Amino acid sequence: MTDDHYFTADPSVAFKRTPVTATVWGYELELVSGSGVFANGRLDIGTAALFRETEPPGGGRILDLGCGYGVIGLAIGRAVPTATITAVDVNERAVLLANENAAALGLADRFTASTPEQADPDAAYDEIWSNPPIRIGKQALHELLLTWLPRLSPGGRAVLVVGKNLGADSLQRWLGEQGYPTTRLASAKGFRVLESRPAP
């Protein structure tokens, strides 16, 4: 039994790749996930709810925050030819898989995954999309969001999916208190889809 988690930087569990097929916004994505990475072998129900309840963004610079094997950013890249996607994850195995998936889908010219330390600290984003890692704990989650939300460009937004039983409603209030008024776009299968925008 291992105590590794998907938010471990370098999981020690043996690495085995697992194929995943997901249909998102009318496009079929053939992806590869892996052991030690979030939602290995599947599209998790939170991300599935996010896709069902949203339309793809209009384009521009997109950040896939906590990308896992890359499904959110790659779905955006597939659906939106004018989008350039930066994906970040602390899990080095997830970063590897996300870049491999981008190459396999022909999106490597518009999709780049890296660890947070490797991302351009001066980059700004038109939109941030995320199924954030709630289970890292409230303090760590707040620090994560306050690291990346200030990188939204004026008029930008963040789209987040959070389990209702994992504190979605309190997170919505907290985001508003931090200067990111947050509305609920949808509520589905125990999940909230939230939209945060920087206060004017």
For the segment 57-101, what is each residue's pLDDT rounded down to a tens digit? 999 999 999 999 999 999 999 999 999 999 999 999 999 999 999
CB environment 155-193: b (16+ within 10 A), e (fewer) = ebbbbbbbbeebbbeebbebbeebebebeebeebeebbb
pLDDT single digits (tens) 90-123:
999 999 999 999 999 999 999 999 999 999 999 9
Residue 160 has pLDDT above 70, yes or no: yes
The C-alpha atoms of residue 99 and residue 105 are separated, in whole angstroms, by 10
What pLDDT does 94 receive? 94
**In the structure, what pLDDT confidence band is assigned to residue 41 with cuts at 50, 70 and 90?**
confident
| pTM across the whole model | 0.92
Q: Does domain 17-196 have CATH number 3.40.50.150?
A: yes
- Compute the average pLDDT of residues 175-193: 95
Q: What are phi and psi of 47, to 5 degrees?
A: -65, -40
Helix (H), strand (E) counts: the chain: 5, 9
- pLDDT interval class at 12 (50, 70, 90): low
